[in-house]
Amino acid sequence: MTLIVQKFGGTSVGTLERIEAVAEKLVASRRKGQDLVVVVSAMSGETNRLLALAHEIDPQPNPRELDVLLSTGEQVTIALLSIAIEQRGIPARSYTGAQVHIRTDSAYNKARIQEVDAKRIRDDLSHGRIVVVAGFQGVDEKGNITTLGRGGSDTTAVALTAALGADECQIYTDVDGVYTTDPRVVPEARRLDHLTYEEMLELASLGAKVLQIRSVEFASKYQVPLRVLSSFESGEGTLITAEVEGMEEPLISGIAFNRDEAKLTILGVPDKPGVAYHILGPISDANIGVDMIIQNVGRDGTTDFTFTVHRNDYRKALEILREASRNLGAREVRGDDKIAKISVVGVGMRSHAGIASTMFHTLAQEGINIQMISTSEIKISVVVDEKYLELGVRALHSAFELEKTPGRIPSSL
């Protein structure tokens, strides 16, 4: 019998009507002979409501108690869904993360899964039950409730798939798969049938919000087949697996973008060993993540150093950089929080040299200046002025003909 782990997000279980619709879908699958383990999020808006309650009492609530509070959202959903399934004549059993021993570390609000004990779930499956598990949560070695951070239910589902040796992990969302880019920006964007873990990791890290990054990392590590599907319409969705024969042909799979970028530059830094550490060390100490980094060739004993951060961290990073500038004797600090990043992604790029030139030529034709460039084996990212973001994405999507077939370099370029 096929064993499937299915995850339904907050939108999919946002009302009683939607919970009952999910129950109908599960019961139909069970009657066709599938064994099912279901992971659910809190009903849409519930986590934010609970956060707001905590912050009304204390702007910085105790992290342990916050996890105890936030974990209750999923507990409501698992009980309601189990009741709906049983009302339709199929036995079901609901569990919190702690009850099925999803063991995590003790990093409250952003815990990582270390171990899953699937014995209790296997026993229920052997008795014909649909098992419904609360996503987003676990328990540390001392028995404290922990949560996995935003999107953590995806990671719960992947971890259970790996622990159970299930055939597939299906992530049900409000979209019917992963697209070549955001259809709200490019209406001609095409749903992708198949992606590699590498491609999905890049797309997720570069701004595509269909899957939590950690869930894709987990799936890649344990070779869990992932499928993104819509809760509201039928279809095959997008399957995410390791690279397989026949998948090397497409050059470009998709175009990702991120509006939440800011750029900082320190000019005239003494060009000597240890400078990069003295610039980025204080940034790291402030728990600010750095993305793209460029250091220019030194001249006259000095160099310029540029990097990007999340826009929410811009003001804090700028203050830290000004302090570092004074300590280093740099000439000037500049900042720009009106930039955006555009990236082309595809495993086929490994063996093809023409992607970058096509990308740069296309942007130049549109009069879009490239401020920074970053590359890897399967992606090229550029930083541009924020006002050119949508124009750049549309132009690149058209240039690589992503609306027609897997992305190729047009012969005219």
User: pLDDT grade, residue 298 (50/70/90)?
Assistant: low
308 is annotated as contributing to ligand binding: no
CA distances from 368 to 25, 217, 294, 355, 385 (A): 48, 34, 20, 17, 8
Joined together, the tokens standing for residue 71 give 């974990």
Residue 407 has pLDDT above 60, yes or no: no
Whether 250 has a pLDDT exceeding 70, the answer reads: no
Q: What is the mean pLDDT of residues 114-139?
A: 96
Q: Is residue 182 part of a domain?
A: no
State the residue for tokens 């569990």: 95
290 appears as a binding residue in the annotation: no
What pLDDT is stored for residue 112 in this prediction? Answer: 93
Asked whether residue 8 is marked as a ligand-binding residue, the answer is yes
pLDDT tens sequence across 334-351: 999 999 999 999 887 876
- Gap between the Cα atoms of 68 and 137, Å rounded: 10
Q: Is the pLDDT of residue 272 over 70?
A: yes
Model confidence at 22, in pLDDT bands (50, 70, 90)? Answer: very high
- Per the domain annotation, does 162 fall within a domain? yes
Residue numbers of the domain that contains 134: 3-174
Cα angle 302, 306, 308 (rounded to 5 degrees) comes to 165
Q: Establish whether 72 is an annotated binding residue.
A: no
- Let me know if residue 284 belongs to a domain: no
Bridge partners of residue 144, in order along the sequence: none
Judge whether 79 lies within some domain.
yes
Cα–Cα distances (Å) from 224 to 175, 198, 227, 380, in that order, read: 21, 13, 10, 27
Tokens for 363, please give them: 């942007």
Is residue 271's pLDDT more than 90?
no
Residue 277, sorted as left (phi over 0), alpha (psi -120 to 50) or beta, turns out to be alpha
Query: 136 a known binding residue?
Result: no
| Residue 307 belongs to some domain of the structure | no
pLDDT, the chain, mean = 91
179 annotated as belonging to a binding site for a ligand: yes
Q: What's the confidence (pLDDT) of residue 94?
A: 97
Domain count, the chain: 1
pLDDT tens track for 347-391 = 878 767 788 889 999 999 999 999 999 888 889 999 999 999 999
Stretch 173-196: mean pLDDT, rounded? 90
Residue 173, annotated as binding a ligand: yes
Predicted confidence at residue 412, as pLDDT, reads 46
- What residue has token string 């815990």? 111
Over range 213-232, report the average pLDDT. 91
- Residue 90 is assigned to a structural domain of this protein: yes
Phi and psi of 352, rounded to 5°? -135, 130
CA 307 to chain centre: 22
What is the percent of the chain with per-residue pLDDT over 90, rounded to a whole number? 73
Q: In 16-136, which residue ranges form alpha helices assigned H by DSSP?
A: 16-31, 46-57, 63-70, 72-87, 119-126
The pTM for the full model equals: 0.84
pLDDT of residue 403: 87
Q: Which CATH number fits the domain that encloses residue 80?
A: 3.40.1160.10
- The residues, any chain, with a CB within 8 Å of residue 300's CB and separated by 6 or more, are none
The reply, when asked if residue 74 is annotated as ligand binding, is yes
Torsion of CA 277, 282, 287, 292, to 10 degrees: -50
Sheet holding 3-8, edge to edge: 92-95, 130-134, 35-40, 3-8, 168-173, 226-230, 238-241, 194-196
Mean pLDDT for 194-207 is 86
| Residue 85 included in any domain | yes
The verdict on whether residue 96 carries a ligand-binding annotation is no
pLDDT band at 245 (very low <50, low <70, confident <90, very high): low
Confidence grade of residue 287 (pLDDT, cut at 50, 70, 90): confident
Question: Mean pLDDT across the stretch 219-248?
Answer: 84
Quick count: other Cβ atoms within 10 Å of Cβ 176?
19
203: in domain: no
Tell me, what's the pLDDT at 140? 95
More confident site: 202 or 40: 40
Tell me if 39 is assigned to a ligand binding site. Answer: no
